[in-house]
Structure 1
Amino acid sequence: MSNHEVFEPAFEVIQKIEEAGGEAYIVGGAVRDYLSGIPVNDIDIATSETPERIQEIFEKAIPVGIEHGTVIVRHRSVSYEVTTYRVEEGYEDYRHPDEVTFVRDITLDLARRDFTINAIAMSRNGNLIDPYHGHDAIRKERIEAVGQPAERFQEDPLRMMRAVRFASQLSFHIEKKTEEALNRLSHLLQYISIERIAVETEKIFRGSDYALGLHLLHTTGLKNHLPILKDLDIHRNVPNSPLVGWHEIIAFYVLQFPQLSAENFMKSWKLSKDTKKKTIQLLYAYKQYEIEKNVTAWLVYQLDEELFPSFSRLFSALHQEDVNLDKALMEMKERLPILDKRELTFQAKDLLQLFSDLPKGSWISEWMDTIEHHVVTGEMENDYEKIKEWVREWNPPARN
């Protein structure tokens, strides 16, 4: 599907607003990506109409941020954020405007946006409203603030991380005045919650020009406000491929710097339990690889299939070579005799039956782990009688 086709249902939403007497445009990232020639994802719409009016025009309209003028409109199974043109004033908390005023002029709405590449509106006929020459900035591969850079960054200092993130994703350079303000005001990042910073940092690492992103974090001084990363030479110690997700980022650094702990990373960045689980799995898998100097059946058995691409990227990043292990990992998984310990033909109840005179204890799980390992690695067949015979020979210790 071409980018222009992606816009068709959104154009229908705009047409409906126009037929009801209002005006509306596609704005923000979707226009930027379309003009940059990269795939368009979420499409946002700005309108002259109030949230209440949008709810009257559309049957499927969910007020999600009505105080900021945002309503989600469902059309052709796609959700569109439709937001009323607004101007904002005062940012006491360095994030939320103290006052939001709805207006009826798209150019006033574009004036409050962060960078010129994000301050372009597109009509349903494909015409651009571009008061800050964002299209020209895209052609020149330039990131520049709308209006005064210092003002934009003081409104929300996270915009400084966003500048670096766009440089990383689009391989654009940051315009001189914007970069100067960024260098001067990087200390304001201390007022931003670590959760918001974590989202942008993760996007910098996964950008196609992540090396540029890491370099900019260092030169601008933003790195000094990033927990743990501030003490590392991230601009010199650059992975060989993008790292997708915090579990990959943490594993990459922890494996190179023994003084770092994954636990510390998790706490400092306030990361989720899911990230923790994935990180522990990745680290275990890679340490297995280091012991065996090979990708083994046991490594593949222990690693969730969804982490195969992560393991492959981590391997590339650490070895400074471009390798794709996904296929090899999948093929090895397909050859595994079991995929789960529940598939063993010999279970704990069989062990207890065999040694009914022994009191229950940790020997049961220890033995079941040994059986599981032997079957997975091919040292023993997953055959009830054969396992039973082997267990009889190797009598479990009675002392537990």
Structure 2
Amino acid sequence: MGTTFESIFRSAFAIIEEIEQHGGEAYIVGGSVRDYLSGSEVGDIDIASSEPPERIQEIFEKVIPVGIEHGTVLVRYGGESYEITTYRTEKGYQDYRHPDEVTFVRDINEDLARRDFTMNAIAMDRYGQIVDPYKGRKAIENKEINAVGNPTERFQEDPLRMMRAVRFASQLNFFIESRTKLSILKQAELLSHISIERIAEETIKLYKGKGFKLGLKLITDLGLKPYLPQLNKIDLIKTIPYISLQTWPEVIAYYTSEYSEAGVKEWVKGWKLSKRSQRNAEALLEGLLEYERNSKLTPWLLYQLPSHLYPSFARLIRARTKMDDHILQKIEKEILHLPIQARKDLAFQPKDLLLLYPDHPKGPWISETMEKLEYAVVTSVVPNEFEKIKEWVSKWNPPANS
């Protein structure tokens, strides 16, 4: 399978070899095998083993018992972390997420039977040989998302798998086969049992996917939209972004700027997002509205936009306006030509204002005047020179008498 194959899985193969030398069996499983076989970038590499967690802890030096009750430990090896989970079967999902009963087994085929989709029910040994009892490799070749066994049972075990199916369709540009699709359509209401945090994670991955337009169509067609706060009130087909959005603040700013009656706070509350997400969404929305009012990148817009949001803002403009992909370079270039980068760069500071008006008691007038001054300098109404600013304040913006 070539040097690339070897370099991707080298450390994982070394772990498997170590387990085998101690009398056990192990395979690489799940998403990393799927990604490798589909030609996608390989993410986290997970390993399944015949050995129980206690035995893995004996074999390796650095082991963290992250989910030992479910047979999972984290092994640090070659500077990387690898989840190793004991082969297991599962029964009963009364909470629609966690199995009521987990049984450790010795056969990789039994372990693969509990997985969600055939493309994820593939294992690979350290020689690159594939174990594929559900024809997952064929599903990958056909670009098909197909539930393992009975799709109704798979989605009843964990209804989030319905969102995962749609998210995979977006990420991989695969289609969902008809039996699996029909099962989602019939059981969509089960999604109401799933926490909004888990749904939010899948939803943002869908928006980031190269096939996000397909994903948004599936959300609508398969009846999943009613369970997505705020998005359930929007026509997701007519409002499709021009390019994929990568973060929740981008998604929120995109919709609240035109398509949603709800404000940023309602979106954040509905999806249980962080205060940081709210601040970023508000900054992006403010910038987008300023951009659309003026049909250009104004100095004041660029000055107010936090630097960590430049890529997000560039994507947002492209998603709304179909502008070319050089917008980020344009933002970064024009930022450099601003008269100042921050208030501390002003040639005239509050102490200078107080010296200019020694008889005025301290009060809100100081910050109000500095805000006007900041805006005037950024928008080139007055140069950032001490004497020019002093004259501008004295002549045009003297504080009101208190």
TM over 0.5: yes
AA partner of residue 23 (structure 1): E
Shift in Å, 1:373: 1.5
Identify the residue that residue 335 of structure 2 maps to in structure 1. 333
Deviations 1:333-362 (A, max 9, x none): 122232221222221122122212112221
Identify the residue that residue 307 of structure 1 maps to in structure 2. 309
Identify the residue that residue 288 of structure 1 maps to in structure 2. 290
8 Å Cα contact 1:223-1:230 kept in structure 2 = yes
Is 1:234 the equivalent of 2:236? Answer: yes
* Alpha carbons of structure 1 residues 80 and 298: separation in structure 2 relative to 1, 3 Å: same
Measure the CA separation in 2 of the matches of 1:231 and 1:52: 50
Identify the residue that residue 127 of structure 1 maps to in structure 2. 129
Shift in Å, 1:258: 5.6
8 Å Cα contact 1:241-1:322 kept in structure 2 = no
8 Å Cα contact 1:72-1:79 kept in structure 2 = yes
Measure the CA separation in 2 of the matches of 1:272 and 1:258: 20
**Counterpart selection for 1:89 from 79, 88, 91:** 91
Measure the CA separation in 1 of the matches of 2:339 and 2:219: 47
TM-score (norm 1): 0.97
AA partner of residue 206 (structure 2): I
8 Å Cα contact 1:240-1:322 kept in structure 2 = no
* Alpha carbons of structure 1 residues 169 and 395: separation in structure 2 relative to 1, 3 Å: closer
Measure the CA separation in 1 of the matches of 2:382 and 2:177: 64
Measure the CA separation in 1 of the matches of 2:301 and 2:225: 35
Measure the CA separation in 2 of the matches of 1:177 and 1:332: 53
Measure the CA separation in 2 of the matches of 1:395 and 1:94: 64
AA partner of residue 146 (structure 1): V
AA partner of residue 18 (structure 2): K
AA partner of residue 94 (structure 2): E
**Counterpart selection for 1:374 from 373, 376, 386:** 376
Deviations 1:47-68 (A, max 9, x none): 1111111111111111111111
Shift in Å, 1:291: 2.5
Shift in Å, 1:205: 0.9
Aligned-residue Cα RMSD (Å) equals: 1.4
Measure the CA separation in 2 of the matches of 1:363 and 1:3: 66
Shift in Å, 1:43: 0.6
**Counterpart selection for 1:196 from 180, 195, 198:** 198
Measure the CA separation in 2 of the matches of 1:299 and 1:50: 57
Matches within 5 A, 1:56-205: 56-205=58-207
8 Å Cα contact 2:46-2:82 kept in structure 1 = yes
Identify the residue that residue 246 of structure 2 maps to in structure 1. 244
Deviations 1:252-284 (A, max 9, x none): 111122623111111111111111111001011
Deviations 1:361-397 (A, max 9, x none): 2111111111112222233232233322322223533
Matches within 5 A, 1:259-298: 259-298=261-300
8 Å Cα contact 1:186-1:220 kept in structure 2 = yes
Could you tell which deviates more after superposition, 137-146 or 389-398?
389-398
Measure the CA separation in 1 of the matches of 2:213 and 2:32: 25
Could you tell which deviates more after superposition, 146-155 or 64-73?
64-73
Shift in Å, 1:321: 4.7
Q: Which runs of 5+ in 2 are unaligned?
A: none
Measure the CA separation in 1 of the matches of 2:215 and 2:158: 20
8 Å Cα contact 1:358-1:398 kept in structure 2 = no
TM-score (norm 2): 0.96
AA partner of residue 358 (structure 1): H
Identify the residue that residue 392 of structure 1 maps to in structure 2. 394
AA partner of residue 400 (structure 2): A
Give the length in aligned residue pairs.
400
Identify the residue that residue 225 of structure 1 maps to in structure 2. 227
Q: What SS does structure 2 have at the residue aligned with 1:256? A: coil
